[in-house]
Structure 1
Amino acid sequence: MSSYEDRLKALREELASRRLAGFVIPLTDEHMSEYVGEYAQRLSWLTGFQGSAGAAAVLSEEAAIFTDGRYTIQVREQVDGKHWEYVGVPATSIAEWLAEHTDNGARIGYDPWLHTRQWVKSAEKALAEKGAELVAVDTNPIDAVWPDKPLPSDAKLIVHDDSYAGKSSAQKRQEMADEMADANIDAAVLAALDSIAWTLNVRGADVDHTPVALAYAIVHKDATADLYVDPDKMNDDVLRHLGNGVRVHERSAFRGSLAGLKGKKVIADPERAVSAIFQALDDAGATIMPQTEPAVLPKAIKNAAELQGSRDSHERDGAALVRFLHWLSLEAPKGGVTEMSAAKRLQEFRSENALLRDLSFDTISGAGPHAALPHYRVTEESSIPLEMDQIYLVDSGGQYPDGTTDVTRTIIVGTPTDEMRDRFTRVLKGHIALATAIFPQGTRGSQLDSFARMHLWQAGLDYGHGTGHGVGAYLGVHEGPQRISAANYPGSGWDEPLHAGMILSNEPGYYKAGEYGIRIENLVAIEEREIEGGEATMLGFETLTFAPIDHKLIDTSLLTQAERDWVDGYHADVIARIGPQLDDATAAWLGEVCAPLD
């Protein structure tokens, strides 16, 4: 099937054969993952959309693709508007659109392994008001019309050494078991792939850029666990590592095993466990405890070994980025460097380090107008050259056995305009305000978000994404429950207070559509701060990322003396930490670009 039009037609024929008037296609997998394996890229196969967040709904005569403001331009470039209506979320939800476009008596299908229970309830309610019905399918109809659908990855699991993890799997399971026993809970379902990897101290290669394996797990109050994974993915090293406390089963046995929890009190996470898991537990007669998986918070609060690993990995990663920025300073003004060639060259610099396991996400390499797309993904078709007097934004990271990195730098090739310097400096001031913030224990990220925006607000400006996301320890580059965002979710897993040990990004930005974009991103770790004479337990941020900030884009007249001192101090740290890893020419260049501000 060569065209997306043919694929849409084939899906409609399949739906008709199942007596379905429509079907919903989310971009996720059976674990509610943000990034998914090729086998689960149903939305991309059907529509051509290459973004990392979105969904679609197909009816017999209409179809819509749902994306947020990050992908307004990208979705129109990649998805044919003749066949698809572009719908913005959260202004319009999938359930609302379906209710508006379906007829009385219509049967709308959904895959219960790809949606949360809450989504199912809201969609059922919206459709019921129109006399329509939401119907769970036994098998996904897209899989039936996708002739060359990739198989799930068969990559082997690997042991994540305790020296990196800081705690053994047995210790982690015991701590979970103690908490469950205190709450009179019998078991916890782990559906999130990073929860399983962290709990069992294993890693995998089943999802691009995220070192996890396709599996499910159930942890019991006696500290034992059941792991459900393709047996071909196991080896003797992993089996020895897991020991007698972890029973290994076929992944396909997971659904049936839930029936064995009859009469038990079982944790199932409403945000991470799909509707099908809740339904199976209900059918089994288990008492469901709808709460966050017990791995989520301890995974987010890094121990001493994980924090040190993050520091070490950032210093290695920073050296690769500095080598790239030096190369770029020489080559970009000559012409001939493109977004794609720059991204490939940066990956080559990272790959010179034998500890690199993967990138932590597809590099965002955006020149000029593409830099104004916060989640731009360069392709051979979209790649444009870096031109003089134009901004270039590069957001990238690496996966190392001791840490995960994520860093954004905004570079001017040539000479910036006064407006570019003003906007960049306001973003920098916001970055510094957050980096130097002191706040009491119990503070939530939503309370800090305005620190990063206030200097943009003073000029009538803002940006449309969150300011900070959590980052894992050789795990997901996006990790909950910590975040710094204007959005507030009272009572949800995203409402978690910030704790010492959590790692977050600090990444304010500014984007002028069609012209340029700016973002300055470092990763930071939360640490306790001693305040002389203070009475409350206070927290602050330790900066983990070290790479130069482009002096040419800074309007020093907008900086306070304290902000100038921060920039100079930060650059002195960059020289001290990164300089010794560089050749003489690159080290000399680094000394120049990290010199004190004029």
Structure 2
Amino acid sequence: MFQNFEVTSTPEKGPARLALLRQEIARAGLDGFLVPRADAHQGEYVAPCDARLAWLTGFTGSAGFCAALMDQAGVFVDGRYRTQVKSQVDPEHFTPVDWPETTLADWLKQALPDGGKVGFDPWLHTKGEMEKLAGCGVELVAVDNLVDRIWADRPPRPSGKIIEYPVEFAGETAEAKRKRIAADIKNAGAQAAVLTLPDSICWLLNIRGSDIERNPVVQAFAILHADGRVDLFTDPAKAEGLALEVQPWEAFEPALMALQGVVRVDPDTAPVAVSDILQGAGIEVQAKADPCILPKARKNSAEIAGTRAAHLRDGVAMVNFLAWLDRAAPKGGLSEIDVVTKLEGFRRDTGALRDISFETICGAGPNGAIIHYRVTQETNREIRKGELLLVDSGGQYLDGTTDITRTVAVGDVGNEEKTCYTRVLQGMIALSRVRFPKGLAGRDLDALARYPLWLAGQDYNHGTGHGVGTYLSVHEGPQRISKVSDVPLETGMILSNEPGYYREGAFGTRIENLIVVQPAPALKGADARDMMAFETLTYVPIDRRLIKVDMLSRGERDWLDAYHAKTLEMLSPLVKGETLDWLTRACAPL
């Protein structure tokens, strides 16, 4: 359960491993090889045995890839990791590339202007991914994984036990889900669908596992037939003691080849190897989204009720933590690791914590400007007066998954920090208050959270919100609040609301609540159209000491006062002593 604050890899490991990889590239008659962050299940988080990108380059972010050529190696990272990557890779051997502004196709055209052959592992890339490389001028060659050839001490596959997920939290039996999704497959003209996303499989079968750290999923493949039958492929030892039929990993490929008729495969999440195997066997592939993704995203009443309960429990842990932090931090001597350990302890004290939902982000001062910063023994920093402390954390509970960010003042902080914090708060409030016509997507709302920052010529290099599972992945698709998300927001979808602002080398600030899409309450005099709104799930005080009240409108002040009044009403019966005193002060009206 506890976070591991390991010492990061020494820089010389990257160049030595890159040299070995280049030997394998030459031996295979290639000019390069692609090393993605992804595993065969295309999850954001990977098991140690699949952490090839980190093993090769030292970069530990949750998104990115390396294009290793004989004379250069580009490490492609998005805006969340552009500060982090500089401190993790050896700049003499690996070149950070701003992605997606620079696409891999364009980079390959420049790096190999005369063409060439670049290898890739077909189990680690999707069909959609590979199609984007069409016309890049190089030949893409499917090969066995070259990194695995040189990774002598590669860890084994995870083998965590499968558990049954209680139907009172799932809100629907696995049998009912199978029949419902199978009917969709049949109506779309297919005889089966291949499932490769672990959270889709876990949701469909009402199971959970521990194969991926912080994510209670089972690594597996599945085939859902149009009659509702499911073939599950993983390590059979995981299911010992359960009434669950499991076939071994090696049975998956023969099972694909034995299918008949039309088979549905998601081109954006399934490995390209799946489509290649089916087409090689003469089976027609229907390129269509994973049939579980949208139903899983639309949380039912039981899932939402469980998530509310999880947030209330987690809110108690958070206010106990924040009250302690307010007492302890000004005295000095606290480090980032001390803070992370203490917060995890408060969550464990609830008696219901299964795990944290991701590695806690705790950045003091300039470390707060590293968007997905993870403290290590090497980077651990003392928390000093006059600084902002950004803490982004969450818990995995059987009834729900939480994710919350609070930025707090340690002593008196500067005017600029308060001004930026207030703009971030204004964006978070705007998204919390919005009513919007049914059918709009995350890209239609993203600007609301950025507008106060844009007015000041500022912005942040991450999405405003991601989907969240129910005792599943803390980052869940397909819904997002992002400039690039065209998925309509539907009732029951849970998302984060987390604008931020980061000044490299100085400070970072982010405020995050989880929200759920609901039909908007009727308004007198409104048009006769369906409107949607967000219900806030997270109730934990927002640091009032950092707010420049004169920047807030009357509506923003009223929202914040109402939010704090409800926070006090919900949490005050559940805390006592110094924590209750702190909560009462923290929730006072502006």
Task: Specify the TM-score bucket, using the shorter chain as the normaliser.
Answer: over 0.9
CA distance in 1, matches of 2:471, 2:346: 19
Letter of the structure 2 residue corresponding to residue 47 of structure 1: T
- Deviation track 1:89-138 (CA, whole Å, cap 9, x = no partner) reads 11222232223223646321100001111222333531xx3xx421101x
Q: For residue 503 of structure 1, what is the aligned residue in structure 2?
A: 494
Counterpart mapping for 1:529-544 below 5 A: 529-531=520-522, 532-534=524-526, 535-544=528-537
Candidates 568, 575, 581, aligned match of 1:588: 581
Q: For residue 44 of structure 1, what is the aligned residue in structure 2?
A: 54
CA distance in 2, matches of 1:10, 1:170: 49
Instruction: Look up the SS of the partner of 2:534 in the other structure.
Output: strand
CA distance in 2, matches of 1:180, 1:135: 32
Candidates 396, 407, 421, aligned match of 2:418: 421
Counterpart mapping for 1:215-294 below 5 A: 215-237=220-242, 239=243, 242=244, 247-262=245-260, 264-294=261-291
Q: Give 1:580 deviation, angstroms.
A: 1.9
Letter of the structure 2 residue corresponding to residue 4 of structure 1: G
1:566 aligns with 2:563: no
Candidates 488, 508, 512, aligned match of 1:517: 508
Listed as ranges, the gaps of 5+ residues in structure 1 are 488-493
Q: For residue 134 of structure 1, what is the aligned residue in structure 2?
A: 140
- Is the 1:435–1:541 Cα contact (8 Å) retained in structure 2? yes
Q: For residue 163 of structure 1, what is the aligned residue in structure 2?
A: 168
Q: For residue 4 of structure 2, what is the aligned residue in structure 1?
A: none
CA distance in 1, matches of 2:388, 2:267: 42
Q: For residue 490 of structure 1, what is the aligned residue in structure 2?
A: none
CA distance in 2, matches of 1:98, 1:558: 48
Q: Which moved more, 1:18-27 or 1:524-533?
A: 524-533
1:457 aligns with 2:454: yes
Instruction: Look up the SS of the partner of 2:97 in the other structure.
Output: strand
CA distance in 2, matches of 1:28, 1:378: 23
Counterpart mapping for 1:393-432 below 5 A: 393-432=390-429
- Is the 1:579–1:587 Cα contact (8 Å) retained in structure 2? yes
Q: TM-score, normalised by structure 2?
A: 0.96
Instruction: Look up the SS of the partner of 1:547 in the other structure.
Output: coil
Q: For residue 538 of structure 2, what is the aligned residue in structure 1?
A: 545
- Deviation track 1:375-395 (CA, whole Å, cap 9, x = no partner) reads 111111111111101000000
- Deviation track 1:509-558 (CA, whole Å, cap 9, x = no partner) reads 11122111111100001111232344111111111001110010011111
Q: For residue 3 of structure 2, what is the aligned residue in structure 1?
A: none
- Deviation track 1:242-283 (CA, whole Å, cap 9, x = no partner) reads 4xxxx5211221122111123x11111111101101111111
Counterpart mapping for 1:128-207 below 5 A: 129=137, 132-137=138-143, 139-207=144-212
Deviating beyond 4 angstroms after TM superposition, the runs of 4 or more aligned structure 1 residues are none
- Deviation track 1:67-88 (CA, whole Å, cap 9, x = no partner) reads 1222122111110011112211
1:13 aligns with 2:19: no
Instruction: Look up the SS of the partner of 2:133 in the other structure.
Output: helix
1:359 aligns with 2:360: no
Counterpart mapping for 1:26-65 below 5 A: 26-65=36-75
CA distance in 2, matches of 1:91, 1:443: 26
Letter of the structure 2 residue corresponding to residue 593 of structure 1: A
Letter of the structure 2 residue corresponding to residue 315 of structure 1: L
- Is the 1:416–1:552 Cα contact (8 Å) retained in structure 2? no
1:526 aligns with 2:532: no
- Is the 1:217–1:226 Cα contact (8 Å) retained in structure 2? yes
CA distance in 1, matches of 2:488, 2:217: 26
CA distance in 1, matches of 2:585, 2:551: 22
Letter of the structure 1 residue corresponding to residue 289 of structure 2: T
CA distance in 2, matches of 1:338, 1:281: 54
- Deviation track 1:147-205 (CA, whole Å, cap 9, x = no partner) reads 11111111111111111100001000111122222223211111111000100000011
- Is the 1:505–1:523 Cα contact (8 Å) retained in structure 2? yes
- Is the 1:56–1:66 Cα contact (8 Å) retained in structure 2? yes
Letter of the structure 1 residue corresponding to residue 560 of structure 2: V
CA distance in 2, matches of 1:15, 1:460: 45
CA distance in 2, matches of 1:483, 1:182: 27
Q: For residue 480 of structure 1, what is the aligned residue in structure 2?
A: 477
Instruction: Look up the SS of the partner of 1:395 in the other structure.
Output: strand
CA distance in 2, matches of 1:281, 1:185: 14
Q: For residue 339 of structure 1, what is the aligned residue in structure 2?
A: 336
Q: Give 1:12 deviation, angstroms.
A: 1.4
- Is the 1:124–1:134 Cα contact (8 Å) retained in structure 2? no
Q: Give 1:561 deviation, angstroms.
A: 2.0
CA distance in 2, matches of 1:331, 1:441: 47
CA distance in 2, matches of 1:437, 1:174: 36
Candidates 360, 376, 380, aligned match of 1:379: 376
CA distance in 2, matches of 1:161, 1:404: 15
Q: Give 1:571 deviation, angstroms.
A: 0.9
CA distance in 2, matches of 1:34, 1:57: 19
Candidates 434, 437, 440, aligned match of 1:440: 437
- Is the 1:407–1:521 Cα contact (8 Å) retained in structure 2? yes
